[in-house]
């Protein structure tokens, strides 16, 4: 539980904001020096997502997606814009969203909104998104704020829409990272928070072909 490792909630959030203000607005900066894994990450995410976009009675639509913790738009550019008509981006760091406008190029015209906001304070517009993609950012939310945010995401989905979390998973318990002021939870803790938010897991997958020295990464789809 984050209540056991986060001593001061305000400090937890302000330290994270300060950390990201000093990170270069590059793909390598977004990935903590692991820019070389970006293509492996995107290709796996695309395969995972496309199983929900295929034809069928419960097919997820492709009208609008939301990229949470979007940074400069790495996922928006390479995963979401090729699959969805429009994309919204939300990130706490204004400089990253400013950089996104040039990084995304011509296709960036299909980004409707750039929301500068921490996810603990962000509410997706109700009944608006086919996919809400949340990658490498849940560690910056306390358990209660993550659960509440997921509830708001649930309300933000269109019919047959899905919420996707892709993130690092600890081997056991909750581990604090004082450098970027984030936590890493184990699978059981994340599943409990998902259930607490009233969401039902549709799929869960471990990322393959990442470097051995980093945390295991899992992707969850839910609605």
Mind giving me the DSSP string for 16-47? HHHHHHTS-SSHHHHTTT-GGGHHHHHHHHHH
Binding residues: 69, 74, 91-93, 119-120, 135
Q: Tokens for 223?
A: 């609605």
Instruction: Please give the Cα distance from 19 to 146 (Å, whole number).
Output: 20
Q: What is the mean pLDDT of residues 65-87?
A: 98
Residues contacting 161, CB < 8 A, separation 6+: 60, 61, 129, 130, 131, 132, 223
Q: What is the mean pLDDT of residues 211-215?
A: 95
In the chain, how many domains are there?
1
- CATH of residue 198's domain is 3.40.50.150
Q: Are 67 and 100 in contact (CB under 8 A)?
A: no
Binding residues for S-adenosyl-L-methionine: 69, 74, 91-93, 119-120, 135
Q: What is the mean pLDDT of residues 203-222?
A: 97
pLDDT single digits (tens) 1-59: 888 899 999 999 999 999 999 999 999 999 999 999 999 999 999 999 999 998 788 99
**pTM given for the model:** 0.98
Domain extent at residue 44: 2-222
On the 0-12 / 13-18 / 19+ scale of CB atoms within 10 A, 190 is buried
pLDDT for the residue numbered 84: 98
pLDDT for the residue numbered 57: 86
């Amino acid at each position: 539980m984050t209540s056991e490792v986060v001593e001061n909630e305000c400090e937890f959030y302000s330290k994270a904001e300060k950390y990201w203000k000093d990170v270069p607005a590059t793909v390598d900066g977004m990935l903590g020096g692991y820019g070389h894994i970006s293509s492996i990450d995107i290709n796996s995410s695309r395969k995972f997502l496309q199983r929900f976009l295929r034809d069928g009675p419960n097919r997820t639509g492709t009208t609008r997606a939301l990229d949470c913790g979007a940074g400069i738009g790495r996922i928006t550019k390479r995963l979401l814009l090729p699959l969805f008509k429009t994309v919204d981006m939300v990130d706490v760091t204004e400089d990253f969203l400013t950089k996104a406008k040039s990084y995304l190029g011509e296709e960036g015209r299909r980004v409707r909104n750039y929301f500068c906001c921490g996810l603990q304070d962000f509410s997706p517009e109700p009944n608006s998104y086919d996919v809400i993609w949340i990658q490498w950012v849940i560690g910056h939310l306390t358990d209660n704020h993550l659960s509440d945010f997921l509830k708001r995401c649930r309300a933000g989905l269109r019919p047959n829409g899905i919420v996707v979390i892709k993130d690092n998973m600890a081997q056991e318990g909750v581990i604090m990272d004082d450098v970027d002021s984030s936590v890493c939870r184990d699978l059981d803790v994340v599943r409990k928070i998902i259930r607490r938010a009233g969401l039902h897991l549709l799929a869960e997958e471990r990322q393959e072909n990442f470097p051995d020295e980093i945390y295991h990464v899992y992707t969850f789809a839910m609605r």
